[in-house]
Amino acid sequence: MTLPPALILAPIRGITDAVYRDAFARCFGGFDRAITPFIPLRQGQLSRPGELLQVAPENNRAMPAIPQVLTNHPQTFSAVLRQLHDAGHEEVNWNLGCPYPMVAGRGRGAGLLPQPDRIDAILSEVMKESPVKLSVKMRLGYHDPDEYQAVIKVLNSYPLKEVILHARTADQMYDGAVDLVRAGHMLELCSHPFVFNGDIIQPNGFHDLQKKLPGTTAWMIGRGTLACPFLPSILKGIPLPSLDIRRQKLREFHNQLLEGYKQRLSGPKHLKDKMLEQWNYLSLAFAKSNEVLTRIRRSYTSRYNATADWAFDQPLADIEI
């Protein structure tokens, strides 16, 4: 009997926060756990209370969440690992994949990939007395797609929980095809549990991917889930609900997001702005996604609820099984 695949919700800054993770787990399911959007750490500065609340275990009961940190400073890194351990975490993820120039250009995230010796030095200090298990999320490279080869040799020398690969370079951002040939090579080289991330957007494509990367222990899904929230449960073997149930679930999801953000944000303008971030993806669940998104964007704050009600009466997009 084939076991259902282990699925991880990818970290997407500004979107997959604690409110999103809780609402998603309650409305759609399918994910075994999540990696949180990164907590940025600067030299000599630890996590702010608001950031710790986002990743606190008591605020992530519906979907277990592993906090992710972004840093190139070993002393601060170590201090935050202790802080997160004291807050109840047993595992932390280190971001070696963020491609944005403001991050990578400063030698953090994917900007560390051309420097395997520095990665080694950081891990050497951090892993000495780490109270938590550490995993790593990385890309193939910053500019060069073969940078992973030197990096994985370093990672193999430490007792990591797992290595997650987004099979693009930082230069690619999220454009172009993922590199399955290099992903397969890294899978062969990696001595840790290997997780694949990148362009998992439909069931048929996922099954082909499983055949091309046998031995992968888990699969991380980001934008595919944002566009089709039913994707993880479909990949778990759960039948796609009827159109009426899908519409009901999407509306329920939206309402839980709205209520969750209402409790955290002050004022209707801030609330609408936050919901617009979600509609950039939620609109893709509808057949006329551009029309839905345009009307939501143009609606007056006082008319937001009425416009959202209109949106949920629109035809849904087809989902290919």
Within 69-171, where are the H helices?
74-86, 101-104, 116-126, 148-155
CA angle 122, 123, 125 (to 5 degrees): 70
Q: For residue 247, what are the domain limits?
A: 243-311
Q: Are residues 133 and 203 in the same domain?
A: yes
DSSP state of 11: P
- Count of all residues that appear for the chain in the document: 321
DSSP state of 237: T
Q: Are residues 102 and 188 in the same domain?
A: yes
CA-based nearest residue to 21, from 54, 47, 50: 54
The whole-number pLDDT of residue 246 equals: 96
Residue 147 lies in a domain: yes
Rounded Cα distance between 31 and 231, Å, is 10
H/E segment holding residue 139: strand 133-141
The whole-number pLDDT of residue 1 equals: 58
Do 216 and 187 contact (CB within 8 A), yes or no?
yes
Q: Are residues 175 and 129 in the same domain?
A: yes
The model's pTM? 0.95
The whole-number pLDDT of residue 100 equals: 94
Residue 162 lies in a domain: yes
Low-confidence residues of the chain, pLDDT below 70?
1, 43
Q: Are residues 171 and 201 in the same domain?
A: yes
The whole-number pLDDT of residue 52 equals: 84
Residue 316 lies in a domain: no
Do 167 and 198 contact (CB within 8 A), yes or no?
yes
Rounded Cα distance between 301 and 319, Å, is 31
The whole-number pLDDT of residue 205 equals: 86
Rounded Cα distance between 184 and 202, Å, is 20
CA 116 to chain centre: 24
Q: The domain spanning residue 135 has which CATH number?
A: 3.20.20.70
Rounded Cα distance between 189 and 138, Å, is 15
CA angle 30, 14, 151 (to 5 degrees): 75
The model's pLDDT over 299-319, given as tens digits with 9 standing for 90+, comes to 988 999 999 999 999 999 998
Number of domains within the chain: 2
Rounded Cα distance between 67 and 135, Å, is 10
Residue 155 lies in a domain: yes
| DSSP β-bridge partners for residue 32 | none
